A = this chain, B = another copy of it.
Amino acid sequence: MTGISRAARPRPVPPGSSGLNARDRAYADLRYRILTGRLAPGTTLLETEIAALLGLSRTPVREAVIRLAEEGLVRIRPRHGITVVDLTLADFRDILDVFSALEIRAVALTAARRLTAAQRDALATLTQRMERATAEGDIARWSDLDDDFHAMLVGLCGNARLQRSIGEYWGQQYRGRRLILPHRPLPSASDREHRAILAAVLDGDPQAAHAAHLAHRARADRDQLALLQRVLTPATPEPIEENSHEPHRP
């Protein structure tokens, strides 16, 4: 394909998304609003309301909403409206289980492939930049780079279906990451594990990559869930700030 990579696929989706049909625009727009918290969990809207909100008719909105529902971001209750799903700790556990299983496989596949020098460099550079971010205590920056690193590992696996499924869960997992971002400790363990993953991938050793990524995800998921529990459990004594590094205003 194009020499330049498809660019880090994550990112909730830039606001200026254009050149698509109405269905995809509606999907991208709604997904973006949900992932960035502009559409808060629990928000309930009618098909008509969403259509009006986006300036479209019900048909494309409906198709987009069905897709979001299949992805687990919203729930459709006939005659009750479309509700932004409020994820519980158990939900996050389930999501991470699936997401990790897929990602581990993807990394193993990537390790089994021949990478170009540019790709190898890019991976190595990302880990270095993450370590620098850690050293500087810039967790938000680290988190973005971590997204890029994982996305790149997945993007190189060569299995389009696998990538698609991972992308499907990425959004849900992202919501959890976003919630705990302000509470994250320094990701020294992740940095260390990333080194091991990188080494295995550059070595072209799928077995080692599988093991390394499995270990990484097991620990990272455990930590993330522990943090999520802390964030989610309070009945709401402390309003969780919806602002992080995003522009404000809902």
A-to-B contact residues, CB < 8 Å: 59, 62-63, 66-67, 70, 72, 94-95, 97-98, 100-102, 104-105, 109, 159-162, 165, 168-169
Q: Are the C-beta atoms of A159 and B98 separated by less than 8 Å?
A: yes
The 4 A-B residue pairs whose C-beta atoms are closest, nearest first, are: A101-B105, A94-B159, A98-B162, A94-B161
Q: Which of A70, A72, A98, A169 has the largest number of chain B CB atoms within 10 A? A: A98
Among residues of B, the one whose C-beta sits closest to the C-beta of A172 is B161
Among residues of B, the one whose C-beta sits closest to the C-beta of A91 is B161
Q: Which of A97, A101, A104, A105 has the largest number of chain B CB atoms within 10 A? A: A101
How many angstroms between the C-alpha atoms of A32 and B159 in the bound complex?
Answer: 26
Residues of B within 8 A of A100 (CB): 105
Q: Oligomeric state, in number of copies?
A: 2
Q: Are the C-beta atoms of A98 and B94 separated by less than 8 Å?
A: no
Interface of A, helix, strand, loop or mixed by DSSP: helix
Among residues of B, the one whose C-beta sits closest to the C-beta of A214 is B210
Q: Which of B67, B97, B109 contacts A70 (CB 8 A)?
A: B67
Residues of B within 8 A of A97 (CB): 105, 109, 159, 162
Among residues of B, the one whose C-beta sits closest to the C-beta of A157 is B97
Q: Are the C-beta atoms of A94 and B162 separated by less than 8 Å?
A: yes
Q: Which of B59, B67, B70, B102 contacts A98 (CB 8 A)?
A: B102
Q: Are the C-beta atoms of B160 and A94 separated by less than 8 Å?
A: yes
How many angstroms between the C-alpha atoms of A59 and B168 in the bound complex?
Answer: 24
Q: Are the C-beta atoms of A161 and B102 separated by less than 8 Å?
A: no
How many angstroms between the C-alpha atoms of A59 and B58 in the bound complex?
Answer: 12
Q: Which of B59, B63, B94, B161 contacts A72 (CB 8 A)?
A: B161
Report the minimal beta-carbon distance from A181 to chain B, rounded to whole angstroms: 23
How many angstroms between the C-alpha atoms of A59 and B62 in the bound complex?
Answer: 11
**16 contacting pairs across A/B (C-beta < 8 A):** A59-B59, A62-B63, A63-B63, A66-B66, A66-B67, A72-B161, A94-B160, A97-B105, A97-B159, A97-B162, A98-B105, A98-B162, A98-B165, A101-B101, A101-B104, A165-B165
